[in-house]
Amino acid sequence: MKKIFYLLLLGFVFVKVQAQIINPVKWEPRIEKKSTSEYVLTFNGNIEAGWHVYSQFTPEDGPLPAEFIFHDNKSNYEFIGKATESETKREFNEIFGVDEIFFSDKVTFTQLIKQINPEKEIIQVELSYQVCKENCISETKYFEFDIKTLEAKEIQASDIANEKTTKADANTAVEKQPESNESDSSLYMIFFIAFLSGFAALLTPCVFPMIPMTVSFFTKQSKTKAKGIKNAIIYGISIILIYVFLGTVITLIFGADALNALSTNVWFNVIFFVLLVVFSLSFLGAFEIMLPNSWANKVDRQADKGGILGIVFMALALAIVSFSCTGPIIGTLLVEAASKGGIAPIVGMLGFSFALALPFMLFAMFPGWLNTLPKSGGWLNTVKVFLGFIELALAFKFLSNADLVLQLHWFEREIFLAIWIAIFGTLAFYLFGKITLPHDSPSSSISVGRLSVGLLILVFTIYLIPGLWGAPLKLISGFPPPMTYSESPYGVGGSNRESTSAIALPDGAHKGPHDIMAFTDYEKGLAYAKSVNKPILLDFTGFACVNCRKMEDYVWSDPRILSILNNEVVLISLYVDDKRELPIEEQYVSKETGKKIKSIGNKWSDFQITRYKANAQPYYIILDTKEKSLNQPVGYMPDITEYEQWLKYGIKQFQK
């Protein structure tokens, strides 16, 4: 009877997931001539129902974004503007803790180029992307565009010209074009954050006292109320233009996308960590960052001349005099905006300056409102110190990025959280008046507002503490290193008696999800399985595979499944999106697909396609030590009982 049951189960699984090469996206490339030397390259994709392709702008730590590599573009053609893409959808992914940006049904990428070398008539493009439904597939397609005949076609990897393509030559959309069409949400967010930063700068000792002084000057010096309002508006607009000019200069100097490409650069992150620490120490009162006094004196002399030009120089004087307070905020804002690339620095300065200028214009229009302003005092320095603590906390995000890129494990999740707990805990004590800093005014009591903010900071600090013991801390998802990048997957002081942590790991093995011993090299895993005479659970997976994480988090964590994976099989997990390059001598062109096998991920993807005629992940197979399949492969199977029965059937076949 049991045999009949297992045969029925096997038949069901076979019908449900047959080994096959899935190709849910059909591409139609096109080239159009726009002018004598300009051409538009278009990539139209028709996506099968239920599947979705991820955008170029899907955030880091999420699924794999679409990525273009234009071969042999150096000195032959240049890019005009940024690659655009058709309308996207956005949904929050709880597994990765980020917003996914993706396409359904149809996708279109468009790139405008200018031909530089008339003799170079062929453009070859490599497109990598991830497409998901219940399973995920990492695909690479190759296209060829003929400038002379205006023909476009899909080609094999072996047809790509064998010329060196470096990162500098590659137009990788994920790094280089974040502003073109990420539903404009990133630019809106930059503007909103910059706007709030402008209001924060407004509440500092360098700026706030200047509001009544400046407004009074305009109202007293102007012959009519209308004239005073007009001058104040010109003053406000001048402030906006000055800061937007600063953002424009940053963009022009570094390029619209160069800083964004540096966002994962180690030195970029380390340098800005140091800068933000310096800014924060300045706000905390260790020293003041000031521009030369001679600059302010020269600008003041120009402002005294009056007229529109004088008003403009008054706005410039405000920017220079208040730099000790606004400089660190502007610096932090420009770092964040520049890391987004494109026109983000300009948008950031627009939001910042608009918030800074708005009160001057409004109070000039309604001078009576000045009576409602709180008096200057020690609370202004409290705001400045508060911002200093926030900047200090943000600084460690950059240091964390550098450590993650190098995979040094010097600055793991526990260290990051311990530092944040210390910073925000100290801030709470400061707001409660238990700690004073050099520029604080003596006070025998604290205001209700300061007490309220202190309580919020204390609550946030207490919220962070369980993170040391493995709590996910979704409120700050994306700031600390991921759960897997920690001293212990179970948090400080955590343990798992059933794990492999106390067992010496064999060569090539590591602790995978839930401390399951796993191999990422097929040959080493196979050799170990032979030595212990256990069946192999071959797991084709991906770092950016959503359903792979779901299987690991919700199915593999079940005690029944975990016991099997720890004790009855040898797990070999092959990551098809591992971007690490193979040694040159190990690179080859696949006989099955014609694709260039350049990375470790390419190798395992080709292995899956060549041997098992499948290209979707997750994909599970149980093998014996002679590499013979013991049951039919399965893909995404969220039913724990069904997955357990599938595992047991394969193990039973091995034991016969």
Q: Which of 114, 148, 176 is at the close of a domain?
A: 176
Q: Are 94 and 129 in contact (CB under 8 A)?
A: no
Answer yes or no: do 409 and 289 share one domain.
no
User: Is 263 part of a structural domain of the chain?
Assistant: yes
Residue 515: CA atoms inside 13 Å, Cβ hemisphere, count?
19
Using one digit for the tens of pLDDT, what is the confidence trace for 125-179?
A: 888 888 887 777 878 888 888 888 888 888 876 666 544 443 334 343 333 333 3
Answer yes or no: do 132 and 232 share one domain.
no
Residue 112 pLDDT greater than 60, yes or no: yes
Share of the chain above pLDDT 90, in %: 17
User: Is 313 part of a structural domain of the chain?
Assistant: yes
Answer yes or no: do 84 and 142 share one domain.
yes
Computed over every residue of the chain, the mean pLDDT equals 76
Residue 645: give its domain's CATH number. Answer: 3.40.30.10
Answer yes or no: do 172 and 209 share one domain.
no
Using one digit for the tens of pLDDT, what is the confidence trace for 549-596?
A: 788 878 898 899 999 999 999 999 998 878 788 999 888 888 877 778
Using one digit for the tens of pLDDT, what is the confidence trace for 213-271?
A: 666 666 666 666 677 777 778 877 888 888 788 767 766 665 444 444 444 466 777 87
List b or e across 219-236, with b for residues whose CB sees 16 or more CB atoms inside 10 angstroms.
beebeeeeebbbbbbbbb
Q: Among the listed ranges 34-38, 138-142, 209-213, 343-347, which one has the minimum average pLDDT value?
A: 209-213
DSSP 8-class letter at 580: P
User: Is 492 part of a structural domain of the chain?
Assistant: no
Count of domains observed in the chain: 4
Answer yes or no: do 32 and 109 share one domain.
yes
Q: Most confidently modeled of 92-101, 173-182, 354-363?
A: 354-363
User: Is 11 part of a structural domain of the chain?
Assistant: no
The amino acid at residue 99 is D
Answer yes or no: do 97 and 149 share one domain.
yes
Answer yes or no: do 88 and 197 share one domain.
no
Answer yes or no: do 346 and 202 share one domain.
yes
Q: Which of 130, 156, 176 is at the close of a domain?
A: 176
User: Is 500 part of a structural domain of the chain?
Assistant: no
Distances, alpha carbon 332 to alpha carbons 194, 199, 275, 326, 358, in Å: 10, 15, 9, 10, 21
User: Is 491 part of a structural domain of the chain?
Assistant: no
Give mean pLDDT, residues 193-204. 76
DSSP 8-class letter at 148: T
Task: Identify the domain containing residue 404 by its residue range.
Answer: 377-486
Q: Which helix (H) or strand (E) holds 336?
A: helix 323-340
Answer yes or no: do 365 and 382 share one domain.
no
Q: Are 140 and 128 in contact (CB under 8 A)?
A: yes
User: Is 347 part of a structural domain of the chain?
Assistant: yes
Answer yes or no: do 459 and 560 share one domain.
no
- What is the C-alpha separation between 262 and 591, in angstroms, rounded? 37
